[in-house]
Structure 1
Amino acid sequence: MRLTVYLAGEIHSSWREEIKKKSLALNLPVDFVGPMENHDRSDNIGEEILGEQPSAIFKDAAASSFNNLRTSVLMEKSDLVIALFGEQYKQWNTAMDASAALANHKPLIVIRPEKLHHPLKELSQKANATVETCDQAIKALSYIFE
């Protein structure tokens, strides 16, 4: 059995590479997908497809349409979602993706540091599992294959 895992969360640190590298080291039969990690491409995709927009608001709206399309397709095809809530960046997209996973009945592992326990308590109660580190998420993922 092979699983596709959607990695939801901020795109500014190397947490996805850590998850991928550790999964590969354990020979887990997993393929990973996720949001567009090239921030400039993500911000500009609307204008790349539709042409120049009249204002920053329209530019963001156009980009959001295509980013949401991409996320919807990849999440729909995934078997599991891992959503990382870090401390450094705003987490709105992560919260949206985690909520979409729940709404679409996708199994969800939430990674969040202890200090974010309180603001994420309701989400954690709905997730299938909540952990504090990428290592713990890998152990949870690995357990599926035992």
Structure 2
Amino acid sequence: MGLTVYLSGEIHTDWRERIIEGAQGLDVTFSAPVTDHAASDDCGVAILGAEPDKLWHDRKGAQINAIRTRKAIADADVVVVRFGEKYRQWNAAFDAGYAAALGKSLVILQQPDHDHALKEVDAAALAVARDPAQVVAILRYVLTGALPG
């Protein structure tokens, strides 16, 4: 049995790379959003033309990015959503809700100081992990039945 895992959420740390590296040898295929912040923000106007109003600039980008995101979440067996410490990731919360609505297995990756703010998101998840190593351990257990250590 293999897994397709979508890695959603903050783009400012190396958490994705740590999970992918830790999962080497497991039958896992990973996907993710575009993590180049400028490309993600500007894809709509770069492809469809400039917008003088920032609202429509952002909306064009969000809609183009949603094509990728919806497909990746729909195809995923597991969706991991990382909430970082520094920025509010409204898009990550939206991805978590979308994944939950589709009945996807949802793993949230967050620090304890976000527990109260994310209580509803966490309630929809099958696991709340504190670091990428715990996500890898979850994937290893699901695929092999092996416990850490």
User: Which letter maps to 1:18?
Assistant: R
Which residue is equivalent to 2:35? 37
Paired residue secondary structure (2:23): helix
After superposition, residues 1-146 of structure 1 pair within 5 angstroms as: 1-24=1-24, 27-146=25-144
Secondary structure (helix, strand or coil) at the match of 2:108 reads strand
For the residues of structure 2 that align with 1:141 and 1:50, how far apart are their CA atoms?
39
**Which runs of no fewer than 5 residues in structure 1 stay unpaired?**
none
CA distance in 2, matches of 1:103, 1:76: 11
Aligned-pair CA distance for 1:118: 1.1
Deviation for aligned residue 1:125? 1.6
Query: In the alignment, is the contact (CA less than 8 A) between 2:2 and 2:143 conserved in 1?
Result: no
Identical columns (%): 38
Work out the CA distance in 2 between the residues paired with 1:136 and 1:57: 38
Which structure 2 residue ranges, 5 or more long, are not aligned? 145-149
What's the C-alpha RMSD, in Å, of the aligned pairs?
A: 1.1
Residue equivalent to 2:147: none
User: TM (normalized to structure 2)?
Assistant: 0.92
Query: How many residue pairs align between the two structures?
Result: 144
Structure 2: distance between partners of 1:120 and 1:90: 11
Separation in 2 of the partners of 1:34 and 1:137? 15
SS in 2 for 1:83: strand
**Secondary structure at 1:122 match in 2:** helix
